Amino acid sequence: MSSLSLPPDEMRALGYAAIDLLVDRLTALRAAPIGRVDQPATLDARLRGPLPSGANAGEVLARVASEVFASALHLDHPRFFGFVPSPGNFVSVIADLLASGFNTFAGTWLEASGPATVELVTLDWLKEMLGLPGECEGLFVSGGSVANLTALAAMRHRVLADRLPGAAVYVSDQTHSSVIRALRLLGFADECVRVLPARDGRMDTTATREAIIADRGAGRRPACIVATAGTTNTGAVDPLRQLAGLSRDYGLWLHVDGAYGAAARLTSRAAVLLDGLELADSWSCDPHKWLFQPYETGCVFVRWPGCLAETFRILPEYLADAASAGGEVNFCDRGPQLTRGFRALKVWMSLQVFGVDAFRAAVDRGLMLAELAERQLRRVADWEVVSPATLGIVAFRCRPQGWTDAQCDVLNARLVQDLVDDGHGFVSSTRIGQRTVLRMCTINPRASDDDVGSTLERLAALAALRIGRHTAADRPHA
């Protein structure tokens, strides 16, 4: 037996123990605290040590559970409402286990024809779910950052022939940071990127048009508009149909970063907000967000068949055996990765097991929970809704009577850590209109009405403690 193998009975025992650990965790998740954040010194003392010489696999698994995963926030917890959670689902967890266990190389048809077919089928299903044109093609990637990078690389090649001098790309001040990072990686200098002020959280079509006209007049090369379908701050959706018309008028590529919000196209209630999504030239979407997959599950789509291969395909002599002979798809030709795992399996299996209607209902529930949170916030004194519930996100702020904006900024920032220390739930903070605000993202289908209500009540109680201490400190001493 190889020195890197376990006997069959030990493999089964380890596997059963791991599955029991996962099932027990999910069963007890609602009653458990939100998680724990430890200090570096504490974790170093616990986890650092000399290079290992070997140990019992069961003991190592127990240590992982008690010493590694214990020092983390549970992003699939029903009261984790910060950032954009990844709720996951158990079927997809098993799919990840299988994809890892079979060690599938999903880069070429030669090495994974069945998995490649599953990826193609799943991409077609996602196109239908998002209402994208049938001719577009895509691939699975790690997440929105690589999806945006891949789409913008295709834009650079098709629109600019990879020549960047004088190029201009238009974004709003609400565009995700991954877009700016992608443009830098692709060689676009900061002066090539026009960051335009958003209006009510949405890209301003008039300002975009004026910037394009001004750049043309100055001899620059307007190339691309990046719109957002579901901003991280407020869930806002840029005016997609108007931006698509603007792109056509001036011959620009329109990329839609739908990493967060594109999946809401599944529901009739949100579809109107995403009107015009199908008119873009490329799209990003993260199934590990609102389609409830484990990390890392992102997707990129490009309208123009063959565009991705034109951008990325390189055929060295050592890949001659895997070259496509006609009809086969080598996904390594569509993006930056040659070595890539079988990410599509988890989406394929969970759709097969639960069906699309279950996903539609779960997305719809996320929309309703944000509206519930907004209603509750509007009934509580000293709290204000800064941005109403949009695509499952509501932004709000504790604003005690008589407090200055600066004092409120400090208060709201501290409430995030207070809630973490309390252990009941989690919300994150951001800046809107130069003010620090709190935000809830309610996309987890495990979350109940009570989870939303009790988290807001606990947050209000923690705020009351800070307000009381502040008031007491202001009192004159006898």
pLDDT value for 102: 98
Q: At what angle do helices 356-378 and 113-130 cross, to 10 degrees?
A: 50
Are 174 and 321 contained in the same domain? yes
3-state secondary structure of 401: coil
- Structure-block tokens of residue 305: 């068949």
**Residue range(s) defining the domain that contains residue 436:** 357-474
Q: Give the chain's residues under pLDDT 50.
A: 478
Are 159 and 173 contained in the same domain? yes
Are 308 and 174 contained in the same domain? yes
Are 339 and 432 contained in the same domain? no
**Distance from C-alpha of 359 to C-alpha of 348, rounded to nearest angstrom:** 13
- Scan for tokens 């620009």, then name that residue: 252
What pTM did the predictor assign? 0.96
pLDDT value for 476: 60
**Does any domain span residue 85?**
no
Per-residue pLDDT reduced to its tens digit, 136-166: 999 999 999 999 999 999 999 999 999 999 9
Are 323 and 431 contained in the same domain? no
**Does any domain span residue 80?**
no
Q: State the DSSP string of 308-334.
A: HHHHH----GGGGGG---SS---GGGS
Are 204 and 319 contained in the same domain? yes
101 exposed, middle or buried (CB, 10 Å; 0-12, 13-18, 19+)? exposed
**Does any domain span residue 90?**
no
pLDDT value for 2: 74
If one counts the domains in the chain, the total is 3
**Does any domain span residue 43?**
yes
Q: Which of 294, 326, 354 is the last residue of a domain?
A: 354
Are 363 and 423 contained in the same domain? yes
**Does any domain span residue 229?**
yes
Are 332 and 370 contained in the same domain? no
Are 330 and 391 contained in the same domain? no
| Nearest residue to 109 via CA among 326, 324, 318 | 324
**Does any domain span residue 405?**
yes
Are 402 and 433 contained in the same domain? yes
CATH of the domain at 412: 3.90.1150.170
pLDDT value for 471: 76
**Does any domain span residue 161?**
yes
pLDDT value for 198: 98
List, in sequence order, every residue forming a beta bridge with 283; answer none if it has no partner: 256, 301
pLDDT value for 478: 47
Neighbours of 377 (CB within 10 A): 24
